[in-house]
């Protein structure tokens, strides 16, 4: 759809194409473009043949979703946001970049590629400078953990992280949300009817497997958290062990984090450092039973942190709890921020 969608006088309009525009992250991305008043010139939504032909409203215009093909990228895109499978990203990202677009990829396809920056804008925006046409963003569980720990890491480097996540079904897509609804309805009537959207029945359950297992017994999701955090922090030797669990929450990923630093740190000092981060809100008042939950994170762009306390098994370490909306700051919001950051650094080549 051609048209001046701009609502902001601050930036010139940006031509954006979303691959995966029919998905849950793609749809949320459109909402965030509107909320942040990002100026958009040409906007195209691409998806699989199954979704092609569907229509989406954006700023008073109707956009028809097109099927993604190798010929979809015509050289007029300023930004191509890929929110699809890793295989789709590997196929289409190089084509779009070759055509002159700045590609932002939400899959794991390029995260550990040494030639591709992996960026959370609040932490390592400077890495954007060495992109070669493709920028990757981290997994939706890596982002909240990294944002919660980075303020301390800057002044007192991390030595070791142990983390357990409790991940909402939205992280597996719209079908998984519907799967939880149908499974829950069946369970309340005494039936077990797995929807197939998770590795095991998810209603009233907890499934300690997110993604497939690797040879070492860890899942790919768990390895992503470790490898991505090392890359973002520029800390290749950082010791990290993760256990990722799917729970029957709709939105909002949670994490229990045990962190050890080079020097002991008082929880009060840690709380002050974390609370100074723009992307993080501390809710930590045990006396009044105040702490963040997934419901607090749903629909919000902040990472919420609470239960900040000394690790009793390691007096020099900390234990804390973090939650975030995996579809927003864990995915779509981070992309919008990457676009803004790239524009402020003159990295977007507008096609007009």
Spatial distance between the Cα atoms of 200 and 189, rounded to a whole number of angstroms: 19
Catalytic residue among 131, 140, 153, 244: 140
Q: What are the residues facing 18 on neighbouring strands?
A: 45, 81
| Among 254, 143, 238, 258, residue whose Cα is nearest residue 206 | 254
| Among 301, 163, 175, residue whose Cα is nearest residue 245 | 163
Spatial distance between the Cα atoms of 248 and 255, rounded to a whole number of angstroms: 15
Token representation of residue 99: 């055509």
**Residues contacting 15, CB < 8 A, separation 6+:** 40, 41, 42, 43, 76, 77, 78, 79, 350, 351
Catalytic residue among 131, 153, 244, 253: 253
**Residues contacting 203, CB < 8 A, separation 6+:** 180, 183, 184, 186, 187, 248
| Among 46, 58, 45, residue whose Cα is nearest residue 4 | 58
| Among 305, 237, 238, residue whose Cα is nearest residue 276 | 305
Radius of gyration of the chain (CA): 20
Token representation of residue 316: 């020099």
**Catalytic site includes residue 253:** yes
Indicate which residues carry an active-site annotation.
140, 253
């Amino acid at each position: 759809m051609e048209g001046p969608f701009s609502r902001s006088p601050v930036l010139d309009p940006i031509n954006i194409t979303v691959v995966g525009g029919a998905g849950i992250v793609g749809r949320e991305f459109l909402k965030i473009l509107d909320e942040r008043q990002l100026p958009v010139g040409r906007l195209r939504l691409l998806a699989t043949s199954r979704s092609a032909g569907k229509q989406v409203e954006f700023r008073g215009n109707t956009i028809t979703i097109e099927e993604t093909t190798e010929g979809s990228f015509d050289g007029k895109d300023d930004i191509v946001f890929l929110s699809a499978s890793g295989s789709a990203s590997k196929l289409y990202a190089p084509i779009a970049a070759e055509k002159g677009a700045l590609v932002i990829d939400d899959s794991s396809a390029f995260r550990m590629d040494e030639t591709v920056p992996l960026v959370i804008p609040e932490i390592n925006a400077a890495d954007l400078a060495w992109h070669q046409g493709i920028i990757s963003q981290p997994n939706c569980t890596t982002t909240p953990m990294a944002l919660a720990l980075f303020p301390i890491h800057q002044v007192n480097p991390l030595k070791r992280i142990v983390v357990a996540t409790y991940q909402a079904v939205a992280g597996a897509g719209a079908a998984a949300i519907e799967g939880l609804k149908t499974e829950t309805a069946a369970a309340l009537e005494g039936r077990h009817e797995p929807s197939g959207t998770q590795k095991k029945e998810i209603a009233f359950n907890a499934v300690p497997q997110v993604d497939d297992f690797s040879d070492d017994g860890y899942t790919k999701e768990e390895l992503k958290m470790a490898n991505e955090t090392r890359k973002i922090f520029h800390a290749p030797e950082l010791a990290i062990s993760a256990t990722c669990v799917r729970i029957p929450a709709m939105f909002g990923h949670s994490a229990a984090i045990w962190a050890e630093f080079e020097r002991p740190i008082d929880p009060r000092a840690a709380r002050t450092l974390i609370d100074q981060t723009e992307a993080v809100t501390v809710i930590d008042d045990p006396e009044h039973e105040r702490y963040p939950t997934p419901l607090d994170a749903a629909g919000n762009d902040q990472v919420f942190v609470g239960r900040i306390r000394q690790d009793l098994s390691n007096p020099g370490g900390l234990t804390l709890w973090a939650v975030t909306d995996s579809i927003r700051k864990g995915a779509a919001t981070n992309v919008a921020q990457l676009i803004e950051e790239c524009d402020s650094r003159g990295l977007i080549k507008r096609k007009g």
